[in-house]
Chain A
Amino acid sequence: QVQLQESGPGLVKPSETLSLTCTVSGASISSYYWNWIRQPPGKGLEWIGYIYYSGGTNYNPSLKSRVTISVDTSKSQFSLKLSSVTAADTAVYYCARMVNRGGENWFDPWGQGTLVTVSS
């Protein structure tokens, strides 16, 4: 079965760049859209953006100036970089596969999530 696993530092200093990687196992990274979503503690879900296996990206305009998502198909990994972080970027970060069939899209599965805290 498809599994996703986030990895990266759990603590980032303000103004620095948050970097996370999602490793995909159990399925090819090809032919899907790969997403990042975040959830501040005790709050709701915010979609950050996606990358298609071929490299095309789509970012949430609210974060677009600070976000870069990249893919390494040889390692079955995709990555998130979020620059100039502040305390407001403290959240659990999830990666998720988006299945697209006939134009309809849904997110499944998700990684377990990783908490990133922005603090000096």
Chain B
Amino acid sequence: DIQMTQSPSSLSASVGDRVTITCRASQSISSYLNWFQQKPGKAPNLLIYTASSLQSGVPSRFSGSGSGTDFTLTISSLQPEDFTTYYCQQTYSTPYTFGQGTKLEIK
């Protein structure tokens, strides 16, 4: 199985800050990397697919980059609704695997 490791596991920031979350794969996954946002009690919501493509309807403050084994999700200017949990997922090979999650908290 491909292991996905996110860092940090938790992050404190303020409204308006620029933050970056990192996801590392245990082997190369090309650009087969997706990012999800999950709010409490809700299903994950797709933000970014194939590493850098912004899903329709997602605010442009979200962006993704990377290829191979190292990927980043950047939020350019945090809004109050962004303080929640984020997951990366690889779809390079089955079993598809997720990172352990990054919880973004208000400082």
Contact = CB atoms under 8 A, between A and B. Distances in A.
Q: What's the dominant secondary structure at chain A's contact region?
A: strand
Contact of A106 (B1, B49, B94, B99): B49
Contacts of B101: 44
Interface stretch (A13-21, A68-76, A83-91, A110-118): A110-118
B34 A60 contact: no
Nearest to A45: B98
Interface residues on B, range: 20 to 34
A109 to B, nearest CB: 8
A45 B87 contact: yes
B88 to A, nearest CB: 10
A105 B42 CA distance: 22
Contacts of B19: none
B43 A111 contact: yes
Given A44-B101, A45-B87, A113-B43, A108 B55 contact: yes
A47 B97 contact: yes
B31 interface: yes
B43 A44 contact: no
Interface string A24-64: 00000000000000000000111100000000001011100
A109 B57 CA distance: 13
Given A105-B32, A107-B34, A44 B91 contact: no
Contacts of B42: 112-113
Interface in B28-83: 31-32, 34, 36, 42-46, 49-50, 55
